[in-house]
Amino acid sequence: MRRITFFLLATLAGLVGLFSYRTSLGAAIPRPGQALASPAPQPTRFADGQVVDGSAVTTDYGVVQVRVVFAGGRIADVVTLQVHTVHEHSLVLNDFALPELKQRVLAAQSADVDTVTGATATSRAYLDSLQYAIDQAHRA
Amino acid sequence: MSTLPRRAWVEQLMGMPVSLHLRGPGLAAPPVAAAVEAVFALLRQVDAVFSTYRADSDVSRVRRGELAAGGAHPWVAEVAELCEQARERTGGWFDAMLPGPGGAPRWDPTGLVKGWAVEAAARLLSGHDFCLNAGGDVVVATLPGRPPWRVGVEDPLDPSRLAGVLPLAAGAAATSGTARRGAHLFDPYHGTAATEVAGVTVTGPSLLWADVYATAVAAKGATGLTLLSGTGYEALLIEPGGRRHTTGRFPGAV
């Protein structure tokens, strides 16, 4: 369940500015593969009702594609477009993982935070953390 | 709602994720990249000297008796002195002498090195509007006219949620607790794992001391908040049952 959540987060984060936070009106869209020294991405405003679809990503659990709906410059909803699972076990995982992801995205966004303090995050726990999502949204 | 440009850089260092966020115009300029690289380079060097996981680090060699303390990197003596100060300032509740695998105490400055190193790295960012987060411990600085950084305090009882938000214009926030790594905190007076605190977040001017106090309070329990009296550091503490305590001037919304 944790791992599929991570895949969903990563999928989402790589394609759109996952979290809006206070910078939501001027959120930079991370460009996958962008080099460190490249120019900072231009601020982008997400219009009300704007829908951004991620590309389909193949994970260990199957093919995952997500759609993000914006309202007021913020993420209003996260929807899976396709989750083609490899086996039945993954179906169960997906049933749990997507609501968890959605809840996490919406909760963090409503709190409007720039960073998160917490007891020492191991590298593994980090991949499943709010801080990871924030970092991904602003990665150069 | 801010429209400040912002960029983030992340590296895994000292066994934890270190993320640096900068705000403002000109973040693509070469001097910015150089400052960012200097921060990560310093932390890599600290790891090479202090890591207890690396057999070739100075600290590992000192522990095995292969290197005299005086022959180690000068940082080791500096940190040893700070560990002693930390023990005194916390009435013994911060202690770098931790039980080793056989139960015998051995010197492990890891709990102080992180705050010390990250604070030193943050000094390399003087003049920048930054937020440096190393495994959940945070140092920020804000340029004039800019909003404070909003630091979410992870809920130790449910790490996918926030227990509160702490606006921080300058200074540090550090959190200790049992949420992430299980009962890794050690009560130096009773020789057992401390469990009375799910998480404690301490904020104040220096990350080193915020971190030391967070560790000490987590070891002592809710009564440990009195250690902060008159220090200029404030805290939010959450017990395993969910009960919350704050010091008088804790600045965040909880």
- DSSP code of residue A38: S
**Mean residue pLDDT across chain B:** 90
How would residue B162 be classed by pLDDT, with cut points 50, 70 and 90? confident
Across-strand partners of B200?
B176, B237
| pLDDT of A26 higher than 60 | no
Asked if the ipTM is above 0.90, the reply is: no
pLDDT at residue A56, rounded to an integer: 64
How would residue A39 be classed by pLDDT, with cut points 50, 70 and 90? very low
| pLDDT of A73 higher than 90 | no
| pLDDT of B75 higher than 80 | yes
Residue B177 Cα distances to A121, B48, B109, B119, B241, angstroms: 11, 26, 18, 21, 14
Q: Which of residues 77-136 of B touch A (CB under 8 A)?
A: 131, 133, 135-136
Note the pLDDT tens digit of each residue in B113-148: 999 999 999 999 999 999 999 999 999 999 999 999
**Interval A78-86 mean pLDDT:** 61
How would residue A15 be classed by pLDDT, with cut points 50, 70 and 90? very low
Q: Spell out which residues of chain A touch residue B31, defining contact as CB-CB under 8 Å.
A: none
pLDDT at residue A45, rounded to an integer: 53
| pLDDT of A25 higher than 80 | no
**Interval B47-76 mean pLDDT:** 92
pLDDT at residue B254, rounded to an integer: 72
Q: Spell out which residues of chain A touch residue B178, defining contact as CB-CB under 8 Å.
A: 119
Q: Comparing A123 with A11, which gets the higher pLDDT? A: A123
Q: Report d(CA B124, CA B63) in Å as an integer.
A: 31
Q: Spell out which residues of chain B touch residue A38, defining contact as CB-CB under 8 Å.
A: 28
**Interval B93-103 mean pLDDT:** 84
pLDDT at residue A9, rounded to an integer: 54
Contact A120 B181 (CB under 8 A): yes
**Mean residue pLDDT across chain A:** 58
Nearest CA distance, A25 vs chain B (angstrom): 6
How would residue B88 be classed by pLDDT, with cut points 50, 70 and 90? very high
Chain A, chain B: beta-carbon pairs less than 8 Å apart:
165
| pLDDT of A82 higher than 50 | yes
Q: Comparing B55 with A91, which gets the higher pLDDT? A: B55
pLDDT at residue A43, rounded to an integer: 41
Q: Comparing B14 with A43, which gets the higher pLDDT? A: B14
Q: Comparing A81 with B52, which gets the higher pLDDT? A: B52
| pLDDT of A27 higher than 50 | no
Class of the B6-246 domain?
Answer: alpha beta
- Give chain B as a DSSP string: -----EEEEEEEETTEEEEEEEESS-TTSHHHHHHHHHHHHHHHHHHHHH-SS-TTSHHHHHHTTSS-GGGS-HHHHHHHHHHHHHHHHTTTSS-SEEE-TTS-EEE-THHHHHHHHHHHHHHTTTTSEEEEEETTEEEEE--TTSPPEEEEEE-TT-TTSEEEEEEESSEEEEEEESTTTSS--EETTTTEE--S-SEEEEEES-HHHHHHHHHHHHHH-GGGGGGGTTTT-EEEEE-TTS-EEE-TT--SB-
Lowest mean pLDDT among A16-20, A103-107, B43-47, B206-210: A16-20
| pLDDT of B224 higher than 80 | yes
pLDDT at residue B159, rounded to an integer: 76
Contact A130 B3 (CB under 8 A): no
**Interval B65-73 mean pLDDT:** 90
Contact A107 B181 (CB under 8 A): no
| pLDDT of B246 higher than 50 | yes
